[in-house]
Amino acid sequence: MQEFMNYAENAGFSALCSFPLKGYTSFKIGGPADVLAFPKTAEQFAGVLQLCRRADIPTFILGNGSNLLVPDDGFRGAVLSTAELRGLRLDSGRIFCGAGEKLKALCMFALEHSLSGLEFAYGIPGSAGGAAFMNAGAYGGEMKDILRVCRCLTAEGEFAELCGETLGLAYRHSAFAENGGVILELELELQTGEPLGIRAKMDDFLSRRREKQPLEFPSAGSIFKRPPGDYAGRLIEACGLRGHAIGGAQVSEKHCGFIVNKSGATCADVLELVAHIRQTVLAQTGVELEPEIRVLDAIPIYEK
Ligand SMILES: Cc1cc2nc3c(=O)[nH]c(=O)nc-3n(C[C@H](O)[C@H](O)[C@H](O)COP(=O)(O)OP(=O)(O)OC[C@H]3O[C@@H](n4cnc5c(N)ncnc54)[C@H](O)[C@@H]3O)c2cc1C
């Protein structure tokens, strides 16, 4: 890792050794990464990934950590945060957004420019890059509706622009989940709207979230994807699992689709609870729930 630290120092971005990741996730769970680094530019990402490939260091791309479960023993490798990949600009009617921008900032930028189509994302606690990776969505909208181009580093380390079908956007899925790579910048197409109407929609969605979701506890949002024709939360509740706890992890009393970190939950607690929910729901209803959250693991940035 010394080579990595030297590279970061010379390039001028910060890198932290043996750094606990729990503070970088909305679940507040997880052990240390060998290195947690914050490259500031696309070129620095490309350089650091090349170094990791050469030195055989596993890598993981971290957005805002709001859909992520980090193992208790952390990660043996380099976690590369996109937090410093910033920038928001409007050009020819399209928004260009650095992958590390928070969705809240992106939504506010759209509002300031009287652009409609992103209201659904107001209140989702992710980064723009994480939202593209997950095809985040809510209240009838999703990134797929507005995301036109992703500038990225491919799994082979090449700069590329993906658009249309090649983005592979589907329910909580994108091509990046299969192919790896790093999303650097998003290009979004919205519609001209009326600011008061846009603001009212954003406020309405936010208040619905506050009413329904257990925002008073750390979580990673919905634990499971929506099964066809139903809701994971409804099935979990119907199986009598409201409030069911393992260690510090609990099925939320407020919204059964969430697992909350009630008090000092470990990754092992959450995984055990996820397994218990899946077994119970399958046995009682025949429905196989598919997790929506991602567990931090090395993804092949470069094919070896
Ligand atoms: C209270 C709460 C409410 C939520 N509500 C919703 C909701 O309504 N709808 C919804 O869809 N989600 C929701 N979520 C989940 C989460 O906010 C979204 O999935 C969000 O898009 C994740 O973005 P992130 O930046 O936090 O990604 P992370 O959690 O950091 O990462 C998620 C995955 O994306 C990858 N990734 C992140 N950034 C990049 C990048 N730049 N390049 C390549 N890969 C990348 C990571 O490697 C990881 O595999 C909620 C979460 C919470 C805690």
Mutate to test the pocket of ligand 1, among 22, 29, 38, 134 (most ligand atoms within 8 A of CB): 134
**Range name among 20-29, 150-159, 183-192 with the lowest pLDDT average:** 150-159
Question: Residue 199 falls within a domain, yes or no?
Answer: no
Residue that finishes a domain, picked among 162, 193, 224:
193
How does pLDDT run across 226-259, given as a tens digit for each residue? 999 999 999 999 999 999 999 999 999 999 999 9
Joined together, the tokens standing for residue 241 give 């699992």
**Closest approach atom of ligand 1 to CA 135:** 11
72 and 93 part of one domain: no
Domain that holds residue 64: 2-81
Element (H, E) at 69: strand 68-69
Q: Which band of pLDDT confidence, cut at 50, 70 and 90, is reported for residue 298?
A: low
Say how many Å lie between the CA of residue 284 and the centre of ligand 1. 30
Question: pLDDT over 70 for what percent of the chain?
Answer: 98
Are 235 and 183 found together in one domain?
Answer: no
- 3-class DSSP state for residue 105? helix
Identify whether 172 is a catalytic site residue: yes
Is the minimum distance from the CB of 120 to ligand 1 under 6 angstroms?
no
Confidence of residue 297 (pLDDT cuts 50, 70, 90): confident
Please give the pLDDT value at position 74.
95
Tens digit of each residue's pLDDT (9 = 90 or more) over 25-35: 999 999 999 99
Name the residue at shortest CA distance from atom 20 of ligand 1: 126
Band of residue 156 on the pLDDT scale cut at 50, 70, 90: confident
The verdict on residue 129 lying in a domain is: yes
Q: Taking the mean position of all CA atoms in its chain, how far away is CA 182?
A: 13
DSSP per residue, 234-284: HHHHHTT-TT-EETTEEE-SS-TTEEEE-SS--HHHHHHHHHHHHHHHHHH
Q: Is the CB of 184 within 6 Å of ligand 1?
A: no
Q: Is residue 233 part of a domain?
A: yes
Rounded Cα distance, 6 and 203, in Å: 46
Report yes or no on 291 lying in a domain. Answer: no
The answer to whether position 200 is within a domain reads no
The domain boundary, picked from 56, 81, 106, lies at 81
Q: Atom 33 of ligand 1 has which residue's CA nearest to it?
A: 130
pLDDT in tens, 73-87: 999 999 999 999 999
Taking the CA of residue 131 as reference, the ligand 1 atom at the shortest distance is 21
Ligand 1 binding pocket includes 220 (Cβ within 6 Å) = yes
As for how many domains the chain has, the answer is 3
Q: Is the C-beta atom of 137 inside 6 A of ligand 1?
A: yes
Q: Are residues 104 and 184 in the same domain?
A: yes
CATH code where residue 134 lies: 3.30.465.10
**222 labelled catalytic:** yes
In a domain, 303, yes or no: no
Do the domain assignments include residue 152? yes
On whether the pTM is more than 0.85, the answer is: yes
Beta-carbon count within 10 A of 47 CB: 17
Q: 66 C-alpha to center of ligand 1: Å? A: 5
Domain at 35, CATH number? 3.30.43.10
Domain match, 180 and 99 both:
yes
101 shares a domain with 72: no
CATH number, domain with residue 262: 3.90.78.10
Q: Known catalytic residue: 43?
A: no
Tell me the average pLDDT across 205-225. 97
Q: Which residue's alpha carbon is nearest to atom 47 within ligand 1?
A: 61
Question: Quick check: CB of 270 below 6 Å from ligand 1?
Answer: no
* Position 294 in a domain: no
Confidence band for 289, pLDDT divided at 50, 70 and 90? very high
